[in-house]
Amino acid sequence: MKKITYLILLAVLIASMTGCEKQSAVNISAAISLKSSLEEIEAVFESEHPEYDIALNLGSSGALQAQIEEGAPVDVFFSAGARQMNVLEDKGFIKEGSRRSLLSNSLVVIVPLKSGNVPEKIEDLSKDSLKVISCGDPSVAPVGQYASEALEYYGITESISDKMVLAPDAKTTLSWVESGEADAGIVYMTDAVSSKNVKIAFVIDPQAHSQIEYPMAVINESANAQGAQAFAEFLESEAALDIFRKNGFS
């Protein structure tokens, strides 16, 4: 009888230990413009794959690229621009064959929700009534790169240079316009529709800048190659793509 009791207790203990096994962490470095979408996707993925624990590291694509080059523990990189991914690929940081361009976006000019000073076209940004204009820093944020190309395309870079305030990413520009610190800002469509405190003045012609693409890839030195591959594959699933579409991506 004692032997049977012992075996039952042993079985319960083993089952308990198995159920408490530590989840396998998967570190995702992603552009901050993906924040809302990835937080939703994280919840769905973890419910379907309880063996993995997704850790999101969000920021400007340029800063994330630098972190990877410096050896940060990253399993998957999801950039808001091709340039940052190209650099990592050229330097051998990207797992061969894992790169995918999953999403696209649009560039828009926004103003505070209650603003009566709404530009109708990009040339209107030169008007004296708009004192402060914000966009991302092109050296670190792809949104700034696209915005810089558009301003150059329309020939107004010099005329508005004195009132341009550069932000580390589109989310910061969005917050400055929301608070009224900036009279106008250039952000992604997905950022604009996520806020109830700004309104879209107009959409910038996509021909004025490089194609906006969001490439994703597994990092060569991933400490969790299996988890990285599982999450990368999930990002291409219809469930994930539906979430991206709902948040304004195409």
Tokens linked to 11: 């079985």
| Model confidence at 28: pLDDT above 50 | yes
- Average pLDDT, rounded, for the chain: 90
| Model confidence at 10: pLDDT above 60 | no
- The 3-state secondary structure of 94-107 reads ECCCCCEEEEECCE
φ and ψ at residue 101, rounded to 5 degrees: -100, 105
Q: Among candidates 191, 185, 143, 193, which has minimal Cα distance to 160?
A: 185
Tokens linked to 65: 């690229």
Residue range 134-155: mean pLDDT, rounded: 94
Strand partners, 213: 104
Query: CA 221, CA 68: separation in Å to the nearest integer?
Result: 10
Query: CA 143, CA 169: separation in Å to the nearest integer?
Result: 7
Query: CA 199, CA 197: separation in Å to the nearest integer?
Result: 7
Domains of the chain: 2-104+213-246 (3.40.190.10), 107-208 (3.40.190.10)
Q: Strands across the sheet with 133-136, in order?
A: 164-167, 133-136, 184-188, 107-112, 198-203
For residue 6, name the pLDDT band (cuts at 50, 70, 90). very low
Amino acid at 102: L
CA 1 to chain centre: 61
Strand partners, 4: none
| Model confidence at 170: pLDDT above 60 | yes
Query: CA 59, CA 231: separation in Å to the nearest integer?
Result: 19
**What residues contact residue 46 under an 8 Å CB cut-off, 6+ apart?**
52, 53, 54
Residue range 189-196: mean pLDDT, rounded: 92
pLDDT score of 215? 95
Tokens 């870079």: give the residue.
157
172 within 8 A of 166, measured Cβ to Cβ: no
- The CA radius of gyration of the chain, in Å to the nearest whole number, is 22
Query: CA 52, CA 226: separation in Å to the nearest integer?
Result: 10
DSSP classification of residue 219: B
Tell me which of 78 and 2 has the higher pLDDT.
78
pTM for the model stands at 0.77
Query: CA 86, CA 6: separation in Å to the nearest integer?
Result: 60
Residue range 89-110: mean pLDDT, rounded: 95
φ and ψ at residue 103, rounded to 5 degrees: -135, 165
* Distance spanning both ends of the chain, measured CA to CA: 66
Residue range 45-60: mean pLDDT, rounded: 95
Query: CA 80, CA 105: separation in Å to the nearest integer?
Result: 9
Strand partners, 202: 109
pLDDT score of 250? 83
pLDDT score of 18? 43
